Amino acid sequence: MLRITNLTFGYEPTPIVEDLSFEAHPGEITVIAAPSGQGKSSLLKAINRLHEVEESPFWHTGRIGARVNGVMQDVYDPALDVHALRRQVAYIFQSSTVLPMSIAANVAFGLRLAGERDRSVIAERVHSTLEAVGLYDEVHTRLDAPASILSQGQKQRLAIARALILDPTVLLLDEPTASLDPAATGRIEALLLQLKKERTLLLVSHDEAQVKRIGEKVIELR
């Protein structure tokens, strides 16, 4: 789960979001709603400290709590391993970016980065994760092919698989269907409805129809 308490943050002296509090739980899709430029993506980056990768001049007050390794922790606790945080609180970008490697290697990338070296374990996890996102039947005969050959919708499901292989407790989804056609969007939405059963999903979406279809809690940024 996620617990945001009296959170104010920004990248300059003027705050982007002020005094925000809410909770997001497994079993529901929580949607972040606001006009463009009101801090939706910045909020997602603040939750798993992705702004530190961008070296942005970020500041905040208040608390962001997330379940990491089975325990609720302040994500800005100096004792918290940021790599463990990002494994447990995964970020899915709007653009369906794939790594310049094979389909299988894309999915396995995080697992290898986390230190797994057993090829049989990696192969089994790649298989099960591709099945979980509905891709295995579509790509199982070409796992060694470059991921760039996939359609945009398949690439986005591959990106979700790349995050899922590390079994995160939270998925932060930054408009994951914005560039997809209706059929691909429908597949992603169906996938999210499955994933919410065991994970906390926080979704940014500009699509009002999508919010009505799958959003169960809406948090408005003002």
What digits encode the pLDDT tens for the residues 139-158? 999 999 999 999 999 999 99
Q: Provide the residue range defining the domain that includes 68.
A: 2-220
Over pLDDT 90: what percentage of the chain?
82
Q: Do residues 200 and 26 make contact, with C-beta atoms less than 8 angstroms apart?
A: yes
Residues 79-84, mean pLDDT to the nearest whole number: 93
pLDDT of 185 strictly over 90: yes
Among the residues of the chain, which ranges form H helices? Answer: 40-47, 51-54, 82-88, 103-113, 119-132, 136-139, 152-164, 182-195, 208-214
What digits encode the pLDDT tens for the residues 27-36? 999 999 887 7
Label residue 165 by pLDDT band (50, 70, 90).
very high
69: domain CATH number?
A: 3.40.50.300
Per-residue model confidence (pLDDT) at position 53: 87
Count of structural domains, the chain: 1
In this prediction the pTM is 0.94
